[in-house]
Amino acid sequence: MAIVINGTDHPIPNDPRMSLLDLLRERVGLTGTKLGCNQGACGACTVLLDGERVLSCLTLAVQASGRQVRTIEGLAGEGLAGEGLAGEEGPLHPLQQAFIDHDGFQCGYCTPGQICSALGMLEELRRGEPSHVTADLSAGRTALTREELRERMSGNLCRCGGHNGIVDAILEYAEKGGAA
Amino acid sequence: MIPFSYSLAANEQDALARGANGTARYLAGGTNLVDLMRQDIERADALVDISRLPATIEETAGGGLVVGAAVRNAALAADPRVRARYPMLSRALLAAASAQIRNMATVGGNILQRTRCSYFYDVAGSRCNKRSPGAGCDAIGGFTRYHAILGASDRCAATHPSDMCVALVALDAIVHLEGATGRRSMPLADLHVLPGDTPHIETSLRPGELITGIEIPSCPAAANSTYRKVRDRSSYAFALVSVAAALKVADGKISDVRIALGGVAPKPWRAKRAEAALRGSAPGDDAFRVAADAELADAAPLEGNGFKVSLARNTIVAVLGGLAGEAA
Ligand SMILES: Cc1cc2nc3c(=O)[nH]c(=O)nc-3n(C[C@H](O)[C@H](O)[C@H](O)COP(=O)(O)OP(=O)(O)OC[C@H]3O[C@@H](n4cnc5c(N)ncnc54)[C@H](O)[C@@H]3O)c2cc1C
Ligand code: FES
Ligand code: FES
């Protein structure tokens, strides 16, 4: 079995100690996903595993066997693979563009994790999942207020304090009907 | 991390066979075990991956739920039955960690997660009776803002960090176990043990034993329940104090009440004394305060966490007041 990373099969490493993060960065050469704390506390390493946002630093690569991993490199030019514009060569994903338009970053280190996390978050919201700040747990749908967004994105730290731009970017993308 | 072998358990029997083997460990979401192995606090020769075992949430004949050990924290929090019948459980889960971690973390792993005591984590610089039995404890006499005020010993004052378990002990949850000698069940409240002279012994689990699931009995009072977590920042932080509570009032009297505390003890702390003080009495702030004081009468704060006594009292009173609403 292989790990499918942005649509391409990759072999499972022989050493089970290798994290999914190290596999991405050191073996596959996808350095968009960032190493921050390496202990689950910052969110810089967030990727989508079968569509769910997870921390690649605490996931052993071998645990992703047979599953789909999506990283920041897999977002640009999405859906254009048939036209030869897949991956980094294609136009930016609309959420990437929204981060640029709203100054959603300064140094950019947390950005790939923020963007992958936001895509997973919007999918959770679409499924009607509540958050810590959702007043009515029985509601099938929750509106994406700033408060909801901040709570749902609290697993992604930004040391540059770019949060207002990050929130604006995600809100704009969501309001335009953006989906994961 | 020392080298280890990895295998994916095909089913529970397969997991048990592999888990019985020497220093094998079960790997679920990995959010605690991988971190602790990387820090060299936990060691294993073999990891048995149980994260892909069936993860179902099923109804019991008595109107409760049986939750598979591999169910993710996020899935349990979002389950419509949990949200409607046991809101305090959904709220406890949603107050924990981050969305990414809740997507990975399982029910079994959450129960067996280890303390976040920073002296426990400081392998190079601190003594810890959990890591090295008999070595001594550098937390006691050190920075104790996050440590226990109830149930600790002079060997260890580390707290159990789980939010989920606080709601589950209030709900009288049962843990289902399977091991070499067969199946057994016990109240979750009996699984974790107090440190006493042996803080390295944290549960009554037998070697190689697998948590297969938890059972949450029917609890009509829990439809009116909540979880309040007080922490140093409003999200993505462990509890200073947390309160899970359910309250049912009939004819002006408390007919059922459940209270459990987090962040204050080495295990999820069921507040039996407070419950006993309240059952049958009229709801109101004075009654809530007397009950909270009864629970906290034995509190033995350390130098840095005396604030937790009044914080716990005030949080209990506020949570019960909110649940009583007009009835108080
Ligand atoms: C940054 C950070 C913040 C966090 N914040 C919070 C918080 O605010 N509140 C909170 O409650 N938690 C918090 N957590 C802890 C988190 O909830 C736990 O790490 C998680 O629940 C563990 O589940 P897991 O499936 O990943 O367990 P694993 O890491 O896979 O396993 C943990 C332990 O359980 C054992 N195990 C797992 N499943 C079974 C089973 N079925 N039978 C027998 N043994 C088993 C493993 O062998 C291991 O010893 C936080 C974690 C991190 C990294
Ligand atoms: S690097 Fe994974 S959470 Fe910080
Ligand atoms: S932009 Fe620098 S850490 Fe977020």
B180-232: per-residue pLDDT in tens?
A: 999 999 999 999 999 999 999 999 999 999 999 999 999 999 999 999 999 99
Pairing mode of beta strands A68-70, A52-55: unpaired
Residue type (1 letter), A28? V
A82 pLDDT above the threshold of 60: no
| Average pLDDT estimate for B286-308 | 98
Across-strand partners of B256? B248
| pLDDT for position A88 | 58
DSSP symbol at A92: P
Distance of CA B71 to the CA centre of its chain: 16
Fold that domain B222-327 belongs to in CATH = Enolase-like; domain 1 (3.30.390)
B222 CA to middle of ligand 1, Å?
25
Place of tokens 């507040």: B271
| Average pLDDT estimate for B91-103 | 98
A11 neighbors A65 (Cβ within 8 angstroms)? no
More confident residue, A84 or B65: B65
Q: How far apart are CA B67 and CA B312, in angstroms?
A: 30
B175 pLDDT above the threshold of 80: yes
B39 CA to middle of ligand 2, Å?
15
Cβ contact, residue pair B6, A16, below 8 Å = yes
| Average pLDDT estimate for A44-60 | 98
Computed on alpha carbons and rounded to an integer, the radius of gyration of chain A in Å comes to 16
Count of other CB atoms within 10 angstroms of residue B131:
18
Which of B83, B101, B235 has the CB atom closest to A130's CB atom? B83
Residue B157 — very low, low, confident or very high, per pLDDT cuts 50/70/90? very high
Cβ contact, residue pair A46, B100, below 8 Å = yes
DSSP symbol at A13: P
> pLDDT tens digits, residue range B39-51?
999 999 999 999 9
ipTM of the complex: 0.96
> Does B27 contact A at CB distance below 8 Å?
yes
Which residue does chain A place closest to B49, by CA atoms? A63
Coil vs helix vs strand at B5: strand
Ligand nearest to the CA of B36: 1
Atom 16 in ligand 1: residue holding the nearest Cα: B110
> pLDDT tens digits, residue range A2-16?
999 999 999 999 999
B107 CA to middle of ligand 1, Å?
8
The token duo for B223 is 């439809």
The token duo for B245 is 């509570």
> B39-51 burial by CB neighbour count: b if 16+ within 10 A, else e?
eebbebebbbbbb
For CA atoms B20, B26, B32, B35, the dihedral sign is: positive
| pLDDT for position A90 | 72
Q: Mean pLDDT of all residues in chain B?
A: 97
Query: Alpha helices of A32-162 — where are they, by DSSP H?
Result: 94-101, 111-126, 146-152
The token duo for B297 is 């009468």
CA separation, residue B57 to residues A56, A87, B64, B244, B326 (Å): 27, 39, 10, 22, 34
CATH annotation of B5-51: 3.30.43
Q: How far apart are CA B311 and CA A143, in angstroms?
A: 33
> Does B30 contact A at CB distance below 8 Å?
yes
Residue A77: left (phi > 0), alpha (psi -120 to 50), or beta?
A: left
Atom of ligand 1 lying closest to residue B33 CA: 29
Q: How far apart are CA A46 and CA A112, in angstroms?
A: 8
Domains of chain A: 1-180 (1.10.150.120)
Which residue does chain A place closest to B97, by CA atoms? A155
B124 pLDDT above the threshold of 80: yes
| Average pLDDT estimate for A109-138 | 97
| pLDDT for position A87 | 55
DSSP notation for B228-246: EEE-SSSSSS--SEEEEEE
B30 pLDDT above the threshold of 60: yes
The token duo for A62 is 């071998």
Instruction: Please report the beta strands in chain B, taking only residues with DSSP state E, as ranges in sequence order.
Output: 5-8, 24-27, 46-49, 57-59, 65-68, 174-179, 182-187, 210-216, 225-230, 241-250, 253-262, 269-270
A22 pLDDT above the threshold of 50: yes
B176 neighbors B212 (Cβ within 8 angstroms)? yes
Residue A77 — very low, low, confident or very high, per pLDDT cuts 50/70/90? confident
Q: How far apart are CA A61 and CA A42, in angstroms?
A: 19
For B263, phi then psi, to 5°, come to 80, 0
B48 CA to middle of ligand 2, Å?
24
> Does A88 contact B at CB distance below 8 Å?
no
Q: Where are the domains of chain B?
A: 5-51, 222-327
Which residue does chain B place closest to A13, by CA atoms? B6
| pLDDT for position A48 | 98
A179 pLDDT above the threshold of 70: no
Q: How far apart are CA B154 and CA B141, in angstroms?
A: 10
For CA atoms B217, B222, B223, B227, the dihedral sign is: negative
Which of B5, B84, B94 has the CB atom closest to A132's CB atom? B94
Q: Mean pLDDT of all residues in chain A?
A: 93
Across-strand partners of B257? B247
| Average pLDDT estimate for A106-113 | 98
A55 neighbors A13 (Cβ within 8 angstroms)? no
Contact list, A58 vs chain B (CB under 8 Å): 29-31, 34-35, 101, 104
Query: Of B275, B244, B102, B241, which is closest to residue B159 (Cα–Cα)?
Result: B241
- Taking the CA of residue B223 as centre, how many other CA atoms within 13 Å lie in the half-sphere pointing to its CB? 6
| pLDDT for position A86 | 52
Distance of CA B62 to the CA centre of its chain: 24
Cβ contact, residue pair A155, B100, below 8 Å = yes
| pLDDT for position A76 | 87
Angle between helices A163-175 and A94-101 (to 10 degrees): 140
Residues above pLDDT 70, as percent of chain B: 100
A180 pLDDT above the threshold of 50: no
